[in-house]
Amino acid sequence: MNTNSLKTVFFMVLLMVLFVGLGGMLAGRAGMIIAFIIAMGLNFFTYWFSDKMVLKMYKAKPITENDAPGLYAIVRRLTTKAELPMPKVYIITNPAPNAFATGRNPDHAAVAVTTGLMDLLNNDELEGVLAHELAHVHGRDILIGTVAATIAGAIMMLADWAQWTLIFGGGDDEDNPLGIVGVILAMIIAPIAAMLVQMAISRSREYLADQKGASLSGNPLALASALRKISAGVQKTPMKANAATAHMFIMNPLKGKNLANLFSTHPPVEERIKRLENMVYAR
């Protein structure tokens, strides 16, 4: 297990510790169970139908090998090499360069690229991007992200409940040794901490997809070059994207650079490029 995989495990454990520790202070055991079940139900729906919802949101059109033989051939070659089922391939008519993968598992996966991405990149760079997206599929990152979102969502739900309890005169908790002060502190800390950890998990998966994608394509420098071009392209032509789905793209479609890295779903592009270049120099 490499460093980024270990980071994912660590952050997932940390998220659960936050849920158990701070959640117990906010609502007790019964409240924690109720919040977790509700959050799980909401996120399970999103997870199960994620491919249909996101593809429809961006008006992605399914293509066949006859529609885009070059693109289709790259995906087929990479999936064969990675021993993955052939995913459905989509094209989004949009000048902003970007791509994403979705689907609840490798057997129900889909890969989508924008026309802007295909116009911007050469074949090697496009292969690097598609390898990155297929690495997400191989790593079951949709499932990992859903689990993280479920726990984080339950924590935030508990914080909301605690706020309303205080407003309506509640807040006495015999299980909380700090009393109402502890509830207030947990109410403030819990959602922020949950969001930070959830974003850290997302960033660790992006680093891992870069690494696995570069290994799959066999050309880390091509992926590094693609990221550099995409970053400049997104700066020039931001995509009208839903913020809730921004984490799915290879790069944040709303802006080229992250203003606050701790609250970002994506690592800084400069660091991603540096790590990819180091893969070559380390050989």
Among all residues, which ones are annotated catalytic?
Answer: 133
Whole-angstrom CA distances from 117 to 20, 222, 240 are 43, 14, 15
Q: C-alpha angle 130/60/75, rounded to 5°?
A: 25
Q: How far apart are CA 236 and CA 220, in angstroms?
A: 25
CA 180 to chain centre: 35
Let me know: does 118 contact 268? Beta carbons within 8 Å.
no
Residue with token string 């911007």: 120
Query: Distance from first CA to last CA of the chain, Å, rounded?
Result: 19
